Homo-oligomer: A and B are copies of this chain.
Amino acid sequence: MNTSRERVLRYWQAANARDWQAFAELLAEQIVYEVPQTRERVRGRANYVEFNRTWPGLWRADIQQLVANDHQAVSVIAFHVDGTTETGISVFDFDGDGRIARITDHWPVPYAPPARACDCIERY
């Protein structure tokens, strides 16, 4: 089968194309998806496809960074939806068949920089 890197590329390609057949084929039947920030969890391939299929808005994910090894991968995406852009960070764990067994999703948002104790920081 393909490498972890190729599987994550295919995952986002399938999501962007709304190709739920190709998307589902990448997932383990017992996939667990979690968002630690909201403590939401989705269990199982059918539920997880439905969760994505019904995600509201006109959205598209562009991969910005992808770090992968044999069993895990992390993608950082720019998630464009209805004129706004969010950052999504997904940690993927693969099972022995190369299917996605677990996804842990993080959604960091902008915040005002705190006071810092050193004079060593610039803004960009």
Find chain B residues with CB under 8 A from A38 CB: 110-113, 123
Which of B50, B74, B108 contacts A120, CB < 8 Å?
Answer: B50
Nearest CB of chain B from residue A109's CB, rounded to whole Å:
7
Shortest Cβ distance from A38 into B: residue: B113
Other A-B contacts than A47-B118, A51-B120, A54-B116, 10 sampled, CB-CB below 8 A, are A37-B87, A38-B110, A39-B124, A41-B123, A41-B124, A42-B122, A65-B91, A67-B69, A108-B108, A109-B109
Map CB proximity to B onto A59-72 as digits: 1 under 8 Å, 0 otherwise.
Answer: 00000010111001
With an 8 A cutoff between CB atoms, is A56 at the interface?
A: yes
With an 8 A cutoff between CB atoms, is A13 at the interface?
A: no
